[in-house]
């Protein structure tokens, strides 16, 4: 009788736990599907608007090769699809990379925008433009290399029998400031035309990608997003601290290195395609977590939020402003107030690292 009474609370606890898990899974599925629908709608809408208006049916038929209409196909496939696909791919990459950084380093300010990866790419690209008169694919290749080198430099500098999130962020901010100074120096030595090209690239715009760069990013997303999802269990363990993660059987440094490598490659390829578009990686994860509620930390929802933000920003920058502007101007205008709010609330809560 006593044994039966003691097992009853355990059974009730197990039942409550299973119910909570089911609710979290249901909310995760509902939010992910809703975001996927929103991204799909924005993707089609991006190709509908412009000086030559198209219907959703015409856009979908052209993209899926369901109808042969040369004039519509030229507008959709030749003019608008590359920009829309670039915004979609870059947004997915930045959203996923940003939330990996924030969860791995356990800090809401941890973002490729602030830890030197974007500035490493920017320094390499500006150096190529100013000193080598590089353009197109060469600038993208330099940006990709610069981002990877910057990430490796920060990892080496932050290593002290492991990589602590707070130390990595501080070193990343220092490296970013140093690279910013070098970028400013390179711009002072540039010819006017080269400086104008460099500044346009540094602002970030989804309409400047070439086909080869975009295909590379899309291929990387197909490989790396599933990889990030597979590593999400290790990511959740690392969020609990290294000691707890080791107790759960996680190989901490190997898992951390794999997650950082995945986020760095996604960021580097996104910057190579569109330039250093700011704040998308910073705010995509927190927005996704607010939508997910107790089911926080989803990489795919954060990636979809990043795509939603960037597709919307591109629509605003090109079609809703009196003069078309680079996409990075709009993301900066939206992200800067959020950063100020985040700094203020983080300081009050004592969660700054």
pLDDT in tens, 169-183: 888 888 888 888 998
Better pLDDT: 225 or 253: 225
CA nearest neighbour of 88 among 226, 228, 273: 273
User: What pLDDT does residue 191 have?
Assistant: 83
pLDDT at 353: 47
Q: What is the four-CA torsion angle of 320, 203, 156, 217, rounded to 10 degrees?
A: 60
Higher pLDDT, 150 or 243: 150
Report angle CA 55, 57, 63 to the nearest 5 degrees. Answer: 105
Split at pLDDT 50, 70, 90, the class of 311 is very high
User: What does the pLDDT average to over 188-208?
Assistant: 81
- What local confidence, expressed as pLDDT, does residue 240 receive? 67
**Those residues with Cβ within 8 angstroms of residue 172's Cβ, 6 or more apart along the chain or in another chain:** 114, 115, 116, 117, 154, 158
CA dihedral 301, 305, 306, 310 (to 10 degrees): 150
Beta carbons within 10 angstroms of residue 5's beta carbon: 8
**What's the burial of 322, exposed, middle or buried (CB within 10 Å: 0-12/13-18/19+)?**
exposed
Distance CA 188, CA 179 (A): 14
Q: What percentage of the chain carries pLDDT values higher than 90?
A: 14
Does the pLDDT value for residue 42 go beyond 90?
A: yes
Do residues 327 and 314 touch, judged by C-beta distance below 8 A? Answer: yes
For residue 232, what pLDDT is reported?
79
Question: Does 64 score more than 50 pLDDT?
Answer: yes
The domain segmentation of the chain, as residue ranges, is 24-349
- Single out the residue of 281, 278, 282 nearest to residue 326, CA to CA: 278
The answer to whether 111 and 102 have CB atoms below 8 angstroms apart is yes
The pLDDT score that the predictor gives to residue 164 is 64
Contact 304, 41 (CB under 8 A): no
Give the pLDDT of residue 14: 61
Average pLDDT over residues 197-215: 79
DSSP assignments along 126-142, one per residue: HHHHHHH---THHHHHH
Above 80 in pLDDT, residue 250? no
Which of 200, 140, 183 minimizes the C-alpha distance to 326?
Answer: 200
Q: Which residues pair with 159 in a beta bridge?
A: 163
φ, ψ for residue 159, nearest 5 deg: -75, 120
Tell me the pLDDT tens digit for each residue of 157-166.
Answer: 877 766 666 7
- Quote the mean pLDDT of the chain: 82
Give Cα 301 distance to the centre of its chain: 11
CATH top class, domain 24-349: mainly alpha
What's the number of CA atoms in the CB half-sphere (13 Å) around residue 64? 8
Query: pLDDT at residue 349 above 80?
Result: no
| Mean pLDDT, residues 314-337 taken together | 84
């Amino acid at each position: 009788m006593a044994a039966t009474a003691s097992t009853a609370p355990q059974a009730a606890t197990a039942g409550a736990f299973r119910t909570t898990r089911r609710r979290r899974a249901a909310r995760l599925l509902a939010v992910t599907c809703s975001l996927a629908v929103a991204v799909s709608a924005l993707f089609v809408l991006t190709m509908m608007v412009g000086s030559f208006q198209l219907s959703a049916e015409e856009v979908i038929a052209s993209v899926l090769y369901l109808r042969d209409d040369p004039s519509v196909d030229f507008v959709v496939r030749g003019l608008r699809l590359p920009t829309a696909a670039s915004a979609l791919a870059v947004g997915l990459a930045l959203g996923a990379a940003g939330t990996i950084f924030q969860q791995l380093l356990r800090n809401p300010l941890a973002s490729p925008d602030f830890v030197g990866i974007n500035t490493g790419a920017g320094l390499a690209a500006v150096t190529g433009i100013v000193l080598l008169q590089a353009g197109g694919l060469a600038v993208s290749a330099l940006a990709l290399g610069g981002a990877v080198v910057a990430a490796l430099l920060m990892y080496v500098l932050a290593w002290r029998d492991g990589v602590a999130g707070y130390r990595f962020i501080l070193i990343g901010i220092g490296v970013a400031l140093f690279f910013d100074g070098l970028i400013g120096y390179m711009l002072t030595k540039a010819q006017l035309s080269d400086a104008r090209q460099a500044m346009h690239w540094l602002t970030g715009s989804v309409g400047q990608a070439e086909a080869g760069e975009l295909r590379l990013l899309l291929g990387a997303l197909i490989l790396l997003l599933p990889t990030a999802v597979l590593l999400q269990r290790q990511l959740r363990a690392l969020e609990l601290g290294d000691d707890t993660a080791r107790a759960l059987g996680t190989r901490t440094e190997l898992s951390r290195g794999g997650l950082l490598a995945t986020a760095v490659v996604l960021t580097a390829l996104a910057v190579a395609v569109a330039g250093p578009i700011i704040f998308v990686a910073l705010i995509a994860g927190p927005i996704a977590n607010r939508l997910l509620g107790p089911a926080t930390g989803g990489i795919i929802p954060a990636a979809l939020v990043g795509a939603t933000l960037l597709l919307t920003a591109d629509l605003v920058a090109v079609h809703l402003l009196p003069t078309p502007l680079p996409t990075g101007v709009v993301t900066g205008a939206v992200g800067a107030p959020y950063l100020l709010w985040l700094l203020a609330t983080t300081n009050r809560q004592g969660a700054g690292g």
